[in-house]
Amino acid sequence: MPYFTYDTSVIISRKLRRLDGMPGKFLMSAIVLMELTGSANDNSERKVYEQLFEGYRKQERLIVPSADDWLLTSKILFLLTHARRHSQRGKLKPLPPGVAQRLALDVLIAVSARRWNAIVVTENWTDFKAIQRYCNAKIVKAAEFFDS
d(CA 60, CA 17): 21
Can you give the pLDDT at residue 93?
Answer: 75
pTM of the model: 0.91
Report how many domains make up the chain.
Answer: 1
- Residue 3: inside a domain, yes or no? no
d(CA 116, CA 100): 25
CATH number of the domain where residue 135 is located? 3.40.50.1010
- Residue 105: inside a domain, yes or no? yes
What is the extent of the structural domain holding 40? 10-147
Partners of 62 in the beta sheet? Answer: 28
- Residue 128: inside a domain, yes or no? yes
Task: Write the DSSP assignment of 13-38 as a string of letters.
Answer: HTT---GGG--TTB-EEHHHHHHHHH
- Residue 2: inside a domain, yes or no? no
Cα→Cα distances 42→14, 37, 38, 106, Å: 20, 10, 10, 25
- Residue 138: inside a domain, yes or no? yes
- Write out residues in the chain with pLDDT < 70, as ranges: none
- Residue 4: inside a domain, yes or no? no
- Residue 55: inside a domain, yes or no? yes
- Residue 5: inside a domain, yes or no? no
